[in-house]
Amino acid sequence: MEIDYVKMFIVFGFCIAFVLFFAILLVTGKVDAGIISGVSTMSKEKREKYDEKAVCRFVGWLLIVVCFGLFLIPIGYYFKIKWLVIFGRAFLIVSSIVGCIYVNTSKRFLKDKK
């Protein structure tokens, strides 16, 4: 089965552009932390304990890292470099898991770090 590279680049390009758009908005602080699902579902009392700007910056940078992994996958398919596709997928998975662990185990994002 032959891969249609044009469709693949359009789909991946759209995904990368969409994620990168929100990543830039989060890093620059142009949007509220309410677009982050974990923050938007918190109660108001719990939400006030967190530094929302720091959470937004971290999630924005994590999304930029995810975009790098998304970029590697179609490039690997196009140039028929199998290890690059595997590395891109593994990079996406590992960076997402490490980011989730870091957010949930550190007290870096609390306003009062006691």
Q: pLDDT digit string (tens) for 19-47?
A: 999 999 999 999 988 888 788 888 889 88
Average pLDDT of the chain is 91
Say if residues 23 and 67 touch (Cβ distance below 8 Å): yes
Read off the pLDDT of residues 1-25 as tens digits, 9 standing for 90 and up: 778 889 999 999 999 999 999 999 9
Each domain of the chain, given as residue ranges in start order, spans 5-105
Beta partners for residue 110, in sequence order = 50
Q: Which candidate, 103, 14, 113, 18, places its Cα nearest to that of 63?
A: 18
Exposure of 23 by Cβ count < 10 A (0-12 exposed, 13-18 middle, 19+ buried)?
A: buried
CA triplet 85, 88, 94: central angle to 5 degrees?
140
Residues paired with 50 in a beta bridge: 110
Q: Which of 25-34, 57-66, 101-110 has the highest mean pLDDT?
A: 57-66
The residue ranking higher by pLDDT, 11 or 111, is 11
Contact 39, 55 (CB under 8 A): yes
